[in-house]
Structure 1
Amino acid sequence: MTVLPFTVDLLAVPEAVPEMRRMLRSRFGGADVNVLDLLLCVSELLTNVIVHVGEGTPVTLRVSGTGSGRVRVGLSDPAPGVWPVIRIAARGEESGRGLLLVDAFALRWGVEQGLYGKTVWCELRAPAGLRPGQVRGRADAVSPGVSG
């Protein structure tokens, strides 16, 4: 049984992406489709920080519940001016599809501006390993912006 919220501070480096996937898979269960959505969204959000904010940026990942029984993923970084933008990658380009994937798999997503950073967030259906009563720690009750 997994109870939310789950929060971890880490550095946005390429090695952190597979490590976060392992950690989340272990925490939230094996092959549930919604766990795969969670892994994909976290991977894409973390990779965006590495590419667009900079390798080695300190970030905070928070996986929490919402009042509607969804799972909310928030990745906070200290760069309020580096705003995520969906773009359409040209044929043959190897990158540029991350936010399109988040947009496709998440029920909704957005960005919350903080005084000293921002939080890019998305909401997903709760994985099967979480019963509705376990999706607690409402992310929408407190602003998850980066403090500093």
Structure 2
Amino acid sequence: MHECRCEVLRKPWELSFLAEAREVAGLRRVMRLHLATWGLPNVIEAAQLCVTELVSNVVRHVGSGTPATLAVSMRGPAVRIEIRDPDTRALPTLVSTQVDDEEGRGMALVDATAERWGVVLNGDSKITWCELATGLDSARGHIKDVRVSKAEAVLAICSASPERWEVFGQMGVREAQRDAVILMADLLHWMRAHGCDPDEALDRAQVLFEAEAYSEDVSLQA
């Protein structure tokens, strides 16, 4: 099994907001940005759906304008999403619904999307949470992709600080990013030294990357 030699630090974060229908789009954008930064594009759609349904549940059953908090963290290899609100009486309930039902589908969608979900009652608030599978081996690992593993192996060889790659987990992403940029510059020098056009190579690499990324997004949505 491949071990991630460059761990991804995913710090917990939270955001206070008013539970209103118009806030949902902004919360979905925040989720997309943070999960992209965490290197988890495969979880974005599911996370956005869960946030939409959990917030809508607060709006519908607790009240529009209720002060609430969105908190996101890693629980082992899973992404944990929490919505905190001040009402300990209106508890989310999983009910049986039909396909064409407009009411009561929120928690059914969360239940179908998340690995698990639940509610934590505190003295003056409740937390409705769900956890999403990521496919990671650990909270700081990266997605399984032969191209990512190959690039990491090349970086380990070409790194300006190769000794840091000898021990699992000692190479930070920022340091590795610096080495990756240096490696890309070296490859462009190689292109020029062999009579190739570096700009054309960059353009072709960008097109290839975007095409593969698009294909992956489509397959995840299928």
Which band: TM-score by shorter chain? Answer: 0.7 to 0.9
Classify 1:134/1:20 alpha carbon distance in 2 versus 1 (closer, same or farther; 3 Å). farther
TM-score (norm: length of structure 1): 0.80
Q: Deviations over 1:113-137 (max 9, x none)?
A: 0000100001112388xx73279xx
Q: Distance in 2 between matches of 1:92 and 1:114?
A: 35
Compute the RMSD of aligned alpha carbons.
2.3
> Could you tell me how far apart the structure 2 residues matched to 1:127 and 1:28 are?
14
- Unmatched segments (≥5 aa) in structure 1: 136-148
3-state SS in 1 of match to 2:55: helix
Larger radius of gyration: 2
Q: How does 1:50-129 map to 2 (within 5 A)?
A: 50-66=59-75, 68-90=76-98, 92-126=100-134
1:6 aligns with one of 13, 27, 51: 13
Matching residue of 1:141: none
Change in Cα spacing, 1:94 to 1:78, as seen in structure 2 (3 Å) is same
Once the 2 structures are TM-superposed, how far is the Cα of residue 90 of structure 1 from its aligned partner?
A: 4.4
Whose helix proportion is higher, 1 or 2? 2
Q: Which residue of 2 aligns with 1:145?
A: none
Structure (1/2) with the larger strand percentage: 1
Q: Which runs of 4+ in 1 moved over 4 A?
A: none
Q: Distance in 1 between matches of 2:14 and 2:135?
A: 17
Further displaced range: 33-42 or 91-100: 91-100
How many percent of aligned residue pairs carry the same amino acid? 36
Partner-residue secondary structure (3-state), 1:15:
helix
For the residue of structure 1 that corresponds to 2:11, the secondary structure is: coil
Question: Contact 2:94/2:108 (CA < 8 Å) preserved in 1?
Answer: yes
Aligned to 2:194: none
